[in-house]
């Protein structure tokens, strides 16, 4: 594998896909946080309208 530079942080290293593992983890974390906020806002909006929200029970 050739030494490349990360497209996000520009660190040099041997990794696949053009992005280092640390940057991948940060990007995934931000995406999950965004998903959580969107769901929270949607639930809040539905609650204001008086719509019952069914929750999935994890098991």
Reduced 3-state DSSP string for 9-59: CCCEECCCCCCCHHHHHHHHHHHHHHHHHHHHHHHHHHHHCCCCCCCCCCC
27: Cβ contacts below 8 Å, ≥ 6 apart: 8, 19
Write down the pLDDT at residue 16: 83
Structure confidence at residue 49 as a pLDDT band (50, 70, 90)? confident
Over residues 33-55, the mean pLDDT reads 86
The pTM of this model reads: 0.64
Q: What is the pLDDT of residues 2-38, one digit of tens each?
A: 578 999 999 998 888 899 999 999 999 999 999 999 9
In angstroms, rounded to a whole number, what is the distance separating the alpha carbons of residues 48 and 20? 43
In angstroms, rounded to a whole number, what is the distance separating the alpha carbons of residues 34 and 32? 5
């Amino acid at each position: 594998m050739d030494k490349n530079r990360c497209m996000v942080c520009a660190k040099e290293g041997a990794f696949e896909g053009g992005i280092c593992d640390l940057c991948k983890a940060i990007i995934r974390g931000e995406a999950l946080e965004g998903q959580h906020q969107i769901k929270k806002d949607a639930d809040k909006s539905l609650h204001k309208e008086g719509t019952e929200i069914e929750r999935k029970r994890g098991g």
